[in-house]
Amino acid sequence: MNEVIQTLMPWLILSAGILVTLLVSVIRVESKRPAQFSALFTLVLTGAMAFQTVSMPGEAIFSGAVEVSSLTRILLALFSLVGILFILGGDRYLTKERIHLSDYYHLLLIMILGAGIMVAAKDLVVLFIALEVMSLPIYTLAGFRRNDSRSNEAAIKYFVLGGAVGAVFLLGAAFLFGATGSTQFPAIHAWSRQSISGANLLFAAGHFLVLMAFLFKVAAAPFHFWKPDVYEGAPTPVTGVMSTIVAVASFVTLVRLVHLPALDSTGWESYATALKGTVRALAVISLLVGSLVIITQKNLKRLFAYSSISQSGYLMLGVLASLHPGQGISSVLIYLFGYVFAAVGLFVLLSQSEPRGDTGVELVDLTGLVKKSPLRTALWSVLLFSMAGMPFTFGFFTKYFVFLSSVGTGETPLVVLAALCAVVSAYAYLRPIGLMVMRDADPGAAQWSGGFWSQMVVVASVILVVFLGLMPNAMIQYLKGIPLIH
């Protein structure tokens, strides 16, 4: 029992922190500061604890329902870090939006706990619970601009679709349970090894329904429709959390679920082929939707939503590569980390803008920013360049690995398509830069005010992105050392 506690220490700290934050917010209702400090403290402690124990060997606990490994620890550390950054970076935004509820912080912590459990889950039921623990606070957070009907709308849309998809996941889990007699991953894996005649219909349906839930979460087209709307309506830091923590946790889980059956075992060849075909189709659709629609967008948050849809497309390339024998999944992990580093900076930067009316920051608001704030222009440019995959930013290497691993598995035509999509969406990333530096016209309407911490977060993100763009070796080696699946 002692060992279990030791293994679960970061999660336990986080859970305790949630309680403390909840208590603090009940005690001091009039101010959000105590809850904020409590949340920060909790996350620092969790992150430090998780990071410190990263190299410890993996361990399955609760009779195999949960497995704590290097990957789960590093991801928990990442989630904590991102949480800290958004608490620091989003503070000014919350003040501006007059969001004073302390609940914001413990909901954020619960969400991180959910994500942390999700990446550790080895059982479909645990996965479902983690999914809901992660999603329910996010639904609430998305609606946190309570007096704004757009925020409301975003929350309800997300909730309705998320709830339905949760049910679909559960149906899939039930089918898998029915087909294999277990809900635990190792058991399902073992079953697939024995089933030499390949998958049966029940298994295949269950597998795909389960996958669909996470395709929805990572917004792979055609399950992406919620994303632009929810991104636009939700408070900007929440959007940032969604596009980072939720996306990473969901994608890691998605990769695990794809590899639920042992695809290389006898009798499963056609199943593997069909799976590849499906992933390929998803990649193509996501890439096309993401990069074709992104160039028509005027609202920055919607723009980033479509950006993340095309990111799912690139990530699908990584998943596709992992379906070929002998290929690792490290490219997906590197991509996710690279994306998170840039996205934190981007969303914090976005949250610095004073909203004008209800519509949020439009592209035209960036016009002539260079005159008002050259530093902010530079930060925007680096982060957007990273999104576009330009060299000397980590964004280049993230695409690099995904493309390289796909080319290595003979998916070159798909990579060519992805490359062309990258060109198309590069236009969308370039346009804001163009507006910021090019026009001699009147500067845009938006006012920008970040505050010290917010600015520090962006600078840190930019430095990280550029540093990793120049010296990616250590980071890549580190991430390659972490096995993502089994």
Site for other proteins in 397-426 (CB under 8 A): 397, 400, 403-404, 407-408, 412, 415-416, 419-420, 422-424, 426
Tell me if 104 contacts other proteins by CB under 8 A.
no
Q: Choose, by CB under 8 A, the member of 37, 51, 225, 448 that binds other proteins.
A: 225
Residue 278 in the binding site for other proteins (CB under 8 A) = yes
Nearer to other proteins, 81 or 124 (CB): 124
Other Cβ atoms within 10 Å of 21 Cβ, number: 27
Q: Residue 58 or 434: which CB sits closer to other proteins?
A: 434
With beta carbons less than 8 A apart as the criterion, state whether 78 and 340 touch: yes
Select 406 or 454, whichever has its Cβ closest to other proteins. 406
Which region among 48-56, 78-86, 113-121, 229-237 touches other proteins (by CB under 8 A)? 229-237
265 binds other proteins (CB under 8 A): no
Q: Is 60 in the site for other proteins (CB under 8 A)?
A: no
Nearest approach, Cβ of residue 146 and other proteins (Å): 6
Instruction: Report if residue 380 touches other proteins, rule: CB under 8 A.
Output: no
Helices 70-96 + 9-27 axis angle, to 10: 20
Q: Looking at 29, 56, 194, 391, which residue binds other proteins (CB under 8 A)? A: 391
Least Å from the CB of residue 400 to other proteins: 8
Q: Is 174 an interacting residue with respect to other proteins (CB under 8 A)?
A: yes
The answer to whether residue 182 forms part of the interface with other proteins (CB under 8 A) is yes
Residues 114-133 that bind other proteins (CB under 8 A): 125, 128-129, 132
Shortest reach from residue 210's CB to other proteins, in Å: 12
Write out the two tokens for 316.
């699908």
Binding to other proteins by residue 166, rule CB under 8 A?
Answer: yes
Q: Judged by CB under 8 A, which of 61, 430, 456, 460 binds other proteins?
A: 430
Q: Which of 47, 90, 143, 444 binds other proteins (CB under 8 A)?
A: 143
- When binding is defined by CB under 8 A, the residue of 196, 438, 459, 463 that contacts other proteins is 438
* Three-state secondary structure of the chain: CHHHHHHCHHHHHHHHHHHHHHHHHHHCCCCCHHHHHHHHHHHHHHHHHHHHCCCCCCEEECCCCEEECHHHHHHHHHHHHHHHHHHHHHHHHHHHCCCCCCHHHHHHHHHHHHHHHHCCECEHHHHHHHHHHHHHHHHHHHCCCCCCHHHHHHHHHHHHHHHHHHHHHHHHHHHHHHHHCCCEHHHHHHHHHHCCCCCCHHHHHHHHHHHHHHHHHCCCCCCCCHHHHHHHHCCHHHHHHHHHHHHHHHHHHHHHHHCCCCCCCCCCHHHHHHHHHHHHHHHHHHHHHHHHHHCCCCEHHHHHHHHHHHHHHHHHHHHHHHCCCCCCCHHHHHHHHHHHHHHHHHHHHHHCECCCCCCCCEHHHHCCHHHHCHHHHHHHHHHHHHHHCCCCCHHHHHHHHHHHHHHHCCCHHHHHHHHHHHHHHHHHHHHHHHHHHCCCCCCCCCCECCCHHHHHHHHHHHHHHHHHHHCCHHHHHHHHCCCCCC
Residue 483 interacts with other proteins (CB under 8 A): yes or no = no
Of 32-40, 245-253, 429-437, 446-454, the window that binds other proteins (rule: CB under 8 A) is 429-437
User: Is 235 near other proteins (CB under 8 A)?
Assistant: no
Lay out the site mask for other proteins across 185-214 (x = CB under 8 A, - = otherwise).
Answer: ------------xxxxxx-xx--xx--x--
Closest to other proteins by CB, 13 vs 74, is 74
What is the contact mask toward other proteins in residues 453 to 472, using x (rule: CB under 8 A)?
A: -------------------x
Rounded least distance, CB 396 to other proteins, Å: 7
Burial category of 470 from C-beta neighbours within 10 Å (exposed 0-12, middle 13-18, buried 19 and up): exposed
Among 266, 296, 447, 449, binds other proteins (CB under 8 A): 296
Residue 322 Cβ vs other proteins, minimum distance, rounded to whole Å: 16
> Using CB atoms within 10 A of its CB, is residue 2 exposed (0-12), middle (13-18) or buried (19+)?
exposed
Q: Is the Cβ of residue 88 or residue 121 nearer to other proteins in the bound state? A: 121
By CB under 8 A, which span of 32-40, 244-252, 270-278, 311-319 interacts with other proteins? 270-278
Q: Supply the minimum distance, in Å, between the C-beta of residue 137 and other proteins.
A: 9
Question: Does 33 sit near other proteins (CB under 8 A)?
Answer: no
Residue 14 binding other proteins, by CB under 8 A: no
Peptide bond just before 186 cis, omega within 30 deg:
no
Q: Is 480 in the site for other proteins (CB under 8 A)?
A: yes
